[in-house]
Amino acid sequence: MDHRPIGVFDSGLGGLTAVRELMHLLPREDIVYFGDTARVPYGGRSPETILKFARQDMNFLCSFDLKAVVIACGTVSTTSLAALRREYDLPIIGVVGPTARAAARCTKNGKIGLIATAASIRSGAYEAVVSRENPAGRVYGKACPLFVPLVENGRFRVGDPVIEIVAGEYLQSMKDEGVDTLMLGCTHYPLLSDVIGKIMGPGVTLIDSGREAARALKTLLTERDLLSDAPQGDTSYFVSDTVDGFEAMASLFLRSDLKGMVQQINIEKY
C-alpha cells in the first residue's frame, strides 16, 4: 500500500484524458495534475526545448512526494521519456508504449493510422513499438498541428465548422489508406473522438492515448503493490497561465465543477 499521490502532466488540457480514466480506474488515488498552459503547444518545438520544459514540469511535480508519474503528453513521451527515466528516481509511464501496443493488438488488416503532433511524428517512436509488437503492422502517420490550439480554445465539438473542416482534411489520407485502427497519439485528440469517429466511420477503432497510459499505470501500481486503500482520492490541479479558461474547459470535460480548485504556478522557477 502507498498513499502518496500520482503526478500527471501535459502541455495543457490534453492530459485530462488520462486523469479522467485514472479517476475511473483508480478512484482511491490522489492525483496532482500540471498543465503547462503558458507554453502550450509543445508539438512544434525542438526536442531540446521539449526536454527542457519536461524537466521543469517534472521538477514541479516532484516537489510533491509522488509514487509515480504519468507523462500524459505524446510529445514529451516520444521525445524525452528515456532521458526523464534516467534522471528521476521513480516509475514513469508515457503514452507511446501502451498506445502502440494496444493498436498493434487491435488491427486486423495491419494498417494502423497515427495522428499526433509534428514532434511525435518526426520521432518515429510509435512505429518502433508497433514493429516490435506486430511485425506485419504498418503505421501511416500524419501530423495535425492545428488540433491542439483548436482543442485548447474549445473548438472540439461535432457541428463546429472549423474543427470539422480541419479534421476532414487531416484525416483524408488515413481514409484513403484504409486503416482499421487509429492511434490518437496526442492526448488532446481524444477530446475530438466524436469529430474523428464521425469522419473515420464505425469500422475504424480509435485508440485513446490518455486512457491507455492510465491502464498501464494501474497495472504497474498493482504489480508493485503501490495502490492506495484510502476511501476516496483527491485531485489537485495546477497550471502555468491564468486559471479561468482551464477551469471552464476542465469542468466541462471532467463533468465536475472545478471553479476555485485550480492554482497558477510559475513554472520558470523549476
Check residue 186 for interaction with ligand DGL (CB under 6 A).
Answer: yes
**CA trace torsion 105, 107, 108, 111 (10° rounding):** -140
Q: What are the residues whose beta carbons fall under 8 Å from the beta carbon of 99, sequence distance 6 or more?
A: 74, 126, 183, 184, 185, 207, 209, 212, 213
Residue 77 or 205 having the CB closest to ligand DGL: 77
Query: Using the rule CB under 6 A, is 141 a contact of ligand DGL?
Result: no
The answer to whether 62 is a known catalytic residue is no
CA-CA-CA-CA torsion sign (183, 53, 49, 87): negative
Q: Which residue in the set 11, 134, 228, 235 belongs to the binding site for ligand DGL (CB under 6 A)?
A: 11
Binding flag, residue 187, ligand DGL (CB under 6 A): yes
Q: By three-state DSSP, how is residue 83 classified? A: helix
Q: CA of 155: how far to CAs of 145, 161, 173, in Å? A: 14, 9, 22
Residues 36-95 that bind ligand DGL (CB under 6 A): 40-43, 73-75
Known catalytic residue at 186:
yes
What values do phi and psi take at 236, rounded to 5? -110, 145
Pick the closer one to ligand DGL by CB: 18 or 262: 18
> What x/- string results for residues 111 through 130 when contact with ligand DGL is judged by CB under 6 A?
------x--x----------
Binding pattern for the stretch 239-268 against ligand DGL, x by CB under 6 A and - elsewhere: ------------------------------
Which region, judged by CB under 6 A, interacts with ligand DGL, from 11-19, 27-35, 216-224, 235-243?
11-19
- Interface residue with ligand DGL among 19, 58, 148, 195 (CB under 6 A) is 148
142 Cβ partners below 8 Å, 6+ apart?
113, 114, 115, 121, 170, 171, 173, 174
Residues designated catalytic = 73, 186
Applying CB under 6 A, which residues contact ligand DGL?
Answer: 10-12, 14, 40-43, 73-75, 117, 120, 148, 186-188
